[in-house]
Amino acid sequence: MDVHSPEQRSFNMSRIRGKDTRPEMMVRGWLWANGYRYRLHRKDLPGRPDIVLPKHRAVIFVHGCFWHRHGCRSTTTPESRRDFWLAKFSENVSRDKRNIAALLEQSWRVMVIWECSLRGKNATPELVAEQIADFLNSETRFAESGTQWKRE
């Protein structure tokens, strides 16, 4: 249920502040303020999704671009111990793929919100708010945040 106008919604997303301004907290604050109820880190689901919205049969992952290899400018590779990092990253990427596939298999809908779309120079929090609402109020199976709005 969405009780706010789009204007209020975008206002909320960009204004959500507090002690903890991690992107995950922004998303949780926005969901809560807009009447979406969720559970956190359900251990019984593949990948222990950050946010679970049972009513919408949806899960949301808020991914750090570095660890989850978004491919944006934050997706750097440390100079030292390069092989270690590359192996680590490739593990992370395959684990993410596996978890998302398993969730979809169990009829969960999955949205990935990338950190760079909420924090940093290229952040578009208002757009992300719209994308979350769009995703939750649709039958979309998979979506990613960002200016290159992708969904299947």
- Please identify which residue in the block is written with the tokens 């998302």: 100
Applying CB under 5 A, does 118 fall inside the site for Zn ion? Answer: no
Applying CB under 5 A, does 116 fall inside the site for Zn ion? Answer: yes
CB of 36 to Zn ion, least distance (A): 24
Applying CB under 5 A, does 72 fall inside the site for Zn ion? Answer: yes
Among residues 34 and 146, whose Cβ is nearest to Zn ion? Answer: 146
- Please identify which residue in the block is written with the tokens 């039958």: 139
Distance (Å, rounded) from C-alpha 152 to C-alpha 150? 7
Applying CB under 5 A, does 65 fall inside the site for Zn ion? Answer: yes
Number of other residues whose CB lies within 10 A of the CB of residue 8: 12
Question: How, if at all, do strands 51-53 and 39-40 pair?
Answer: antiparallel
Applying CB under 5 A, does 61 fall inside the site for Zn ion? Answer: no
Applying CB under 5 A, does 70 fall inside the site for Zn ion? Answer: yes
User: If DSSP codes are grouped into helix, strand and coil, which group holds residue 17?
Assistant: coil
Applying CB under 5 A, does 114 fall inside the site for Zn ion? Answer: yes
* CB-facing half-sphere around the CA of 91: CA atoms within 13 A: 6
- If you ran DSSP here, which 8-state letter would residue 75 be given? -
Of the candidate spans 47-55, 72-80, 99-107, 121-129, the one that interacts with Zn ion by CB under 5 A turns out to be: 72-80
User: Residue count at the site for Zn ion (CB under 5 A)?
Assistant: 5
Among residues 52 and 65, whose Cβ is nearest to Zn ion? Answer: 65
Nearest to 67 by CA among 49, 48, 85: 85
Applying CB under 5 A, does 36 fall inside the site for Zn ion? Answer: no
Applying CB under 5 A, does 108 fall inside the site for Zn ion? Answer: no
> Which residues contact Zn ion (rule: CB under 5 A)?
65, 70, 72, 114, 116
